[in-house]
Every structure is written in structure tokens, then in C-alpha cells.
Amino acid sequence: MTHTNFLTTAALVALLGASFSAQAYDADWKRGRVYYRSVCTSCHTAGPIGSINPSTKTKAEWNTYLLLDKHAKGKDTVSKYVSKDYRASIKATNKAAEKFADTPDKDLLDDIKAFLQKGAKDGDSPATCS
């Protein structure tokens, strides 16, 4: 009887795990690169800070930056610039914002994070955005 309960529980756990893994989003670093270069870099290049290349920070520094969700020295949030509302506000002048207008905020942020991780100082392909 105990053996049957164990097998039933194990089967349920396996099915539950399979359903969660089927729903997990696999970040697309290439899509993150397009958004970062087209939206983030275009704004930073025009501003007083200048462009910020992914290779200026390590993976850990990018993780911390995104986790804290603080932009412009804490005056703003990173998530604001990835939001559908922000993309809608700039889509008339930015083709990338228009292209990703319907992309869920979390997915796009995950894509950008994947690009920053790949292009970080200690990433697989340290990147510059010129």
C-alpha cells in the first residue's frame, strides 16, 4: 500500500513538473539585442550619459541592476522602459518598439537580460553597441 502511494505521488510530481516546464519562457537573446540596441542605446546615445555597452558590466552586475529595477540613479525604473505603455508611447518614432508592441513585458525583459548576460564583460560574447 505504501509503495502504491509513493508511485502515485511520484507520478503526480512528475506531471506537475512537466506542466511547469512546458510553460517556462526560453529567453531570446537575439530579440533582446534588437530591443536594447534600437531602444535603450538610441536613448542613451542622445542623452548626456552616452551609450552603455553590455560589456561595461559583469553578469552579476547586470543581474543586480535588473533585480533592483532602478534606472537613472534610482529616479526611474528599468521596467518602465520595457513596458507596453512605454513602447506604445515611442512606436511612432521607433520601429523596434512598434515591432515588439504586443510582446509581454516579462518576456521582453527576459530577452534583454539574456542579451546582457551573453554580452557582459564575463559573458560568452562580450558585446559593444556602436
Nearest to 109 by CA among 129, 81, 72: 81
Q: What is the mean pLDDT of residues 119-127?
A: 87
Q: What is the mean pLDDT of residues 6-16?
A: 47
Q: Residue 90: pLDDT above 80? A: yes
Confidence of residue 6 (pLDDT cuts 50, 70, 90): very low
Nearest to 80 by CA among 93, 66, 92: 66
pTM of the model: 0.75
Q: Residue 5: pLDDT above 80? A: no
Containing 9, the helix (H) or strand (E) segment is helix 2-23
Q: How far apart are CA 84 and CA 108, in angstroms?
A: 10
Q: Between 12 and 91, whose confidence is greater?
A: 91
Domain residue extents for the chain: 29-119
Q: Residue 9: pLDDT above 70? A: no
Of 68-77, 84-93, 108-117, where does mean pLDDT reach its minimum? Answer: 68-77
pLDDT at 12: 45
